[in-house]
Structure 1
Amino acid sequence: MRCPKCGNDVPADALYCPHCAGDEAPEDRLRRLRAAGLRGALIGGAAGALGGALVWWLMGHQRGVPGIVLSLVFAGVATGLVLGLARRR
């Protein structure tokens, strides 16, 4: 794997580049990853809630619609979490 900052080779399991980010503590990197995951989960949850609201508005309160709405919200949160973490990594 190549470091996007300095271009040197970095081991795949390294938490940071030993060539250019050796002073960054692993705790700082984990904090940034958690923040990115939370931000992605919130954005995904909001998108899922908007989709769920649209489904609720179109279909009304029929049998099964609350489950669909809840599934959309959870799917949005999970997708946002994964994309937020992948983007920050």
Structure 2
Amino acid sequence: MLCSKCGQDVPADAIYCPHCVGERKTTDQDVIRGGIRGGSIGLFLGLLPMIWLLYHFGAERGIKAIAFTVPIATFTTGLIIGMVKAKRDWK
């Protein structure tokens, strides 16, 4: 099997091309930056429905719990996706 990027021979059971991956290294700083970026985007996207829920339904007891859970969930999801994406980009 040939690598689509470098054109060199790759073992059939390889997940990544050993020639391409060997040259590129992702540092811990790149992964942290990716996580911060993903978490920031997730937090922003979670604040929009939170504001809408609190505005539309008011600050009732059950709505506050749901409204404050949404940004936490989107922040955590964005953080994880950002870190994984930064690691998979092989910068």
Q: What is the TM-score normalised by the length of structure 2? A: 0.69
**Counterparts in 2 of 1:54 and 1:7: CA distance versus 1, 3 Å:** farther
Match of 1:17 in 2: 21
Separation (CA, whole Å) in 2 of partners of 1:77 and 1:62: 23
Extract structure 1 runs of 4+ deviating beyond 2 A: 3-12
Q: What is the identity percentage for the equivalent residue pairs of Structure 1 and Structure 2?
A: 27
Higher helix fraction (1 or 2): 2
Match of 2:56 in 1: 58
Ranges in structure 2 where 5+ consecutive residues have no aligned partner: none
Amino acid at match of 2:32: R
Amino acid at match of 1:81: L
Match of 1:49 in 2: 47
Give aligned pairs, total: 80
Ranges in structure 1 where 5+ consecutive residues have no aligned partner: none
**Counterparts in 2 of 1:67 and 1:4: CA distance versus 1, 3 Å:** farther
Greater C-alpha radius of gyration: 2
Counterpart of 1:45 in 2: which secondary structure?
Answer: helix
